[in-house]
Amino acid sequence: MAALESMAEMTANRTSDLRWLIALGFYIAAALGGLTEALSQNALVHYLDALLLACSAAGWCVVDARRRDKTFPWAVQFLTLLFWFVAVPIYLIVSRGWRGLGWTLLNAIGFLTTFVVANLATYYVAFGPAAFAP
């Protein structure tokens, strides 16, 4: 019996680690978005960044639902992938109540801050102080 509890605990720890890894990937995608916005005119690069954001956001919801022992049907997973910018806040609010709204706002601020800092730093490194001259 103790072995089963130990196995369940180990699986829960792995899932928790995976949630943090996916969340880190989301913020890395935000930084890459800021970087590519400053340097690239290629639409494919922007589409790939948007796909990375959608996959990391939807993947986090799936892993979090599994961690909470909730079902997350395939159709909902697909809709979360397509409409992640609306579906993830809804998931957070439904799964966590009003705390989910706080997590949504906190992550939205973190995402935008990461994007803007990466974008401005890239502009500064690539074009120098002249990029900010009036």
pLDDT digits (tens, 9 = 90+) for 22-63: 989 999 999 999 999 989 888 999 999 999 999 999 999 999
Query: For residue 79, what pLDDT band results from cuts at 50, 70 and 90?
Result: very high
With a cut of 80, say whether residue 14 has pLDDT above it: no
With a cut of 70, say whether residue 9 has pLDDT above it: no
Cα separation of 111 and 104, whole Å? Answer: 10
Output the CA angle 126-31-93, nearest 5 degrees.
155
Q: What is the pTM (predicted TM-score) of this model?
A: 0.80
pLDDT digits (tens, 9 = 90+) for 86-110: 999 999 999 999 999 999 999 999 9
With a cut of 70, say whether residue 15 has pLDDT above it: no
- Rounded mean pLDDT of 73-87? 95
Q: Is 41 exposed, middle or buried (0-12, 13-18, 19+ CB in 10 A)?
A: exposed
Cα separation of 111 and 100, whole Å? Answer: 16
